[in-house]
Amino acid sequence: MNDIIIKDLCKSFGEKKVLENFSVTFPAGSVSCIMAPSGAGKTTLISIIQGFVKPDSGSISGNEVPMSAVFQEDRLCEDFNAVSNVRFSCSSKKNKKSKEEIVSCLTSLGLGDSLGKPVREFSGGMKRRVAIARALMAEYELLFLDEPFKGLDEELKVSVAEYIRASAAGKTVIAVSHDESEAALLGATIIKM
């Protein structure tokens, strides 16, 4: 596992410069939390690292590894139950998880009583936890968490953060948040843009 090294990254959308000569290193095996005001380029930065958006210039190294993500939107299949939604990320031969492992993960995230319901019937916070479970059960060395605690109350944030920390121990984690207390829950080093 290597550090993720970003040098002089630039990205504009039309006339709007979102990233200008931005450089940062995300140490391998550690948790980093990107913090900045809305519109400062946090999601654009992680989209570039993930390979979804091409930078105008600059370089990235160390990101040629299996990745998983909790996106800003939950991106769930609304008609499927929580187990089926998680199964999408862990059904390959290389990363096959049993139903019991998936149920254990979802139960650890406080969803044990709702496993049979379609996720369209879930609250926003419940959907968020399914998206987190799906990301954690995937095969990855690099995990992205874009506003992972959206819709969770303070008590749930604590237990979910503990579960993420335990599950992702030893992996490189890049989170995005507006809240320093959330970064602290993840044990993250704060990177201000």
Domain boundaries, the chain: 1-65+141-193, 77-139
pLDDT digits (tens, 9 = 90+) for 11-56: 999 999 999 999 999 999 999 999 988 888 999 999 999 999 999 9
pLDDT digits (tens, 9 = 90+) for 134-186: 999 999 999 999 999 998 999 999 999 999 999 999 999 999 998 899 999 99
To the question of domain 1-65+141-193 being in CATH 1.10.10.10, the answer is no
pLDDT digits (tens, 9 = 90+) for 81-97: 999 999 988 777 777 88
Cβ atoms of residues 102 and 90 within 8 Å: yes
Q: From CA 134, how far away is CA 75, in angstroms rounded?
A: 10
Residue 37 is predicted with a pLDDT of: 85
Within 8 A by CB and 6+ apart from 5, the residues are 25, 59, 60, 61, 62
